[in-house]
Amino acid sequence: MHIHILGICGTFMGGVAQLACEAGHKVTGCDAHVYPPMSDALRNAGIEIMEGYDVSQLDAVRPDVFVIGNAISRGNPLLEAILNRGLSYTSGPAWLCEHVLAGRHVLAVAGTHGKTTTTSMLAWILKEAGLEPGFLIGGVPQWSPRSASLGRVAPMSPFVIEADEYDTAFFDKRSKFVHYRPRTAILNNLEYDHADIFENLAAIEKQFHHLVRIMPSEGLVVANGRCEALDRVLAKGCWSALERFDSPQDGWSLSDDGEAAFEGRSFGRLQLGMPGRYNELNALAAVAAARSVAVPPEKSLEALAAFAGVKRRMEVRGVEDGVTVIDDFAHHPTAIAETIHAVRSRMTSGRLLAVLEPRSNTMKLGTMKDRLAGSLHEADEVFCFAGKGVAWEPAEVLDVMGERAFCTHDLDVLVEAVLKEARPGDTVLCMSNGAFGGIHGKLLAGLACRREAQ
C-alpha cells in the first residue's frame, strides 16, 4: 500500500509514517514547515517529504490513500483537491487502528499531563522484560533513536501508545484515543486543556468516557485516585477491572520513601533518575499497567531504576560558565508548577531562572493566563517570551511578580536578558511545547562566549 500523509512532520503523524514504513508500506508525505528532528528521521527511513500542500502532489504521488493529519483544515488546497476528485482518504488514528493495532494488546496512556513520560516508562519496562513491545510515543525516549516501532508483531503482542484527547481529523471530531481500542489504559489525570477544541472540562470528560466505554470487560483501567474529574468519568460506568493509584484508600500506593505497594503488598522501592513526585506517580501507573501483560512489579521497579528519561522532559542541554540549561515541554500551568518544583528539589545551590513561552493554543487564547503567575512562584526569576498569536499581554499578567518577571516580544532581547542575569551555579529552565527558537543553543553559546571572554 502507498500512503501519502498530510502533516507528516507532526509528532504523531511522523510516528505513523515510521510504523507504516517499517511494516513495508510505501510512505510519502508533505507539511507546511518541513523541519527537524522529525524530517531528518523520516528521510533517514527513506520517506520522501514534500514542502507545502500544492495540488500538483496528486499527480506526482498517486497513493492508494491519503492520510490526513488533524492539523489540516478545510481550505487547504491539497485537501480541497482530494475532496473534489473523490479520492480515498482516512485519518492517522483510523489507519493506525486498522493496519497496526488490530489484534494486539494495546496499552494506552491518557491524561492531561505526563503522557509522554509514562508511555516511555511503560514501553521501557516491557522492553526490559523481553516482550519486544511496539510503541508510539509523543517524544523521543533517551533509550531509543525512534519515537515509534512495531516491535514483535504477533497476536496479542503488546503495543504501547500515547493516547491524547485531541480531535482526530477535520472530518472526525472524536478524540484520537477512541480509535486505539486498548485492553489496558492508564488515566493519569484530567484537567481542562485544548481550549481551541473543547468548550469546557465536561466536554473532555465525555471523550474520556468514550474511551472507557469501548474497553473490554477483561481489560484494565489504571486511574489516578486523587482526580475528581476522573472520578466523574468512571462514575458514568466502567466495565473493565479498575485499579487506582495514589488512592487515599486502596489500590497502588507509594510511600514517602518510595516503597511501592498494591493493596497492602509491598514490591520494593522505586528508584527513579527523574525528580518530582508526579514522575514517581507516572512510574507507579506504569508498574500497574505492566502487570496486565504479566510483568511482575518487582521486574518493573528494577527496570525503572535504569530508565534514562525522555528528550525535552527536564533534559539537561548543557552546562556553560557554571550555568545549567534545561529543556522541558511544560506549557500548562499545572505542568509548569510541577516541573519547577521538581527541578528545584534537585538543586543544591544557585537560583532557578524560569524561561517560558506560552505557545500552546490554550495558552495563546489566554484561557489559563490567570493561573500563570501562581505556577511560577517557586522560580527566583521569570523570563517570558510572547510570540506570534498570543492574544493577551504577559507583562500585565505577570505584573504581580514585580521585578522578578521580565517579558518581551523579541526572542533576541529575551536571550540577552537571561544571559545578563544568569550567574555561575544558576539553573535556567526553558519551558515550551515548541522549538522556542532554538533558545537553548543560543543561551549555551552565549554563556560559552562569556566564559571565554573572562
Pick the CATH number of 101-306 from 3.30.365.10, 3.40.50.10800, 3.40.1190.10, 3.40.50.300: 3.40.1190.10
Measured CA to CA, the distance from residue 332 to residue 278 in angstroms comes to: 14
Counting residues of the chain whose pLDDT is more than 90, the rounded percentage is 58
| pLDDT at residue 267 in the model | 94
**Average of pLDDT values for 136-158?**
90
Q: Is the pLDDT of residue 366 over 80?
A: no
**Average of pLDDT values for 203-209?**
95
Q: Domain-by-domain residue ranges, the chain?
A: 2-90, 101-306, 315-453
pLDDT in tens, 85-106: 999 999 999 999 999 999 999 9
Q: Is the pLDDT of residue 301 over 90?
A: yes
The topology (CATH level 3) of 315-453 is Protein-Tyrosine Phosphatase; Chain A (3.90.190)
Binning pLDDT at 50, 70 and 90, where does residue 35 land?
low
| pLDDT at residue 448 in the model | 85
Closest CA to 1 of 26, 30, 29, 28: 26
Q: Which CATH code fits 2-90?
A: 3.40.50.720
**Average of pLDDT values for 272-297?**
92
Is 113 annotated in some ligand binding site?
A: yes
Q: Establish whether the linkage from the previous residue to 37 is cis, with ω within 30° of 0.
A: yes
Q: Which residue has the higher pLDDT, 243 or 272?
A: 243
Is 206 annotated in some ligand binding site?
A: no
Range with lowest mean pLDDT among 90-104, 297-311, 362-376, 406-420: 362-376
Is 114 annotated in some ligand binding site?
A: yes
Binning pLDDT at 50, 70 and 90, where does residue 163 land?
very high
Is 116 annotated in some ligand binding site?
A: yes
> What would the DSSP string read from start to end of 71-114?
T--TT-HHHHHHHHTT--EEEHHHHHIIIIITTSEEEEEESSSS
pLDDT in tens, 306-351: 998 777 777 888 888 889 998 887 778 888 888 888 788 888 889 9
Enumerate the β-bridge partners of residue 245.
224, 252
Burial 326-347 (b: 16+ CB within 10 A, else e): bbbbbbbbbbbbbbbbbbbeee
Is 117 annotated in some ligand binding site?
A: yes
Domains 2-90 and 315-453 in one fold: no
Q: Is the pLDDT of residue 13 over 90?
A: yes
Range with lowest mean pLDDT among 39-53, 126-140, 160-174, 200-214: 39-53
Q: Is the pLDDT of residue 142 over 90?
A: no
